[in-house]
Amino acid sequence: MDPQSEQSPASHKSAEEIQISQKTLKNQPGIPDEAPELFVLSDKIDQYLIRLGYSNAHVLGIVVNLLTVGKVRVEFRHYVERLELVDPADKTSRGVAVDIFDRFLIEKKGRSNQEQILEFTGKIIVQSPEARRM
């Protein structure tokens, strides 16, 4: 059995303790790629929550892939971000990765309530069905 799966989720690092490397590649010719940057996972999750419209499902997929495989490629319209764990020992099982993400969101919600940050309002467009002609 994998020793990582035997450990309790609380024994793993938090999103604030996991370091990642990001390399940004431009999709346009003639624009140079950026040098790799170091982030903590919590900062990257915050960026993606804002950029992806607070869609937790997409951000969860990115985080789980990063924490279980050790790297992930996220494509946007004009550039690609390659994220990689700085310490390969931070790789975890899927369950622990989901727990790290959930704990981050719970902590963020607590901080947001304390700071009274405005909440995101989602926009849903529903088209009415066309009238049937007889």
pLDDT digits (tens, 9 = 90+) for 60-69: 999 999 999 9
Question: Which residue's structure tokens are 């990582």?
Answer: 4
Helix (H) or strand (E) holding 51: helix 41-51
Please give the mean pLDDT across all residues of the chain. Answer: 79
Residue 109 three-state SS: helix
What is residue 111's predicted lDDT score, i.e. its pLDDT?
Answer: 61
Q: Over range 106-121, report the average pLDDT.
A: 59
**Buried b or exposed e, range 68-95, using 16+ CB within 10 angstroms:** bebebebeeeeeebbbbbeeeebbbbee
Residues of the chain with pLDDT > 90: what percent?
42
Q: What residues form DSSP beta bridges with 95? A: none
Amino acid identity at 44: K
Q: Is 90 exceeded by the pLDDT of residue 9?
A: no
Task: Give residue 103's Cα distance to chain centre.
Answer: 13
User: Which residue, 75, 77, 65, is CA-closest to 20?
Assistant: 65
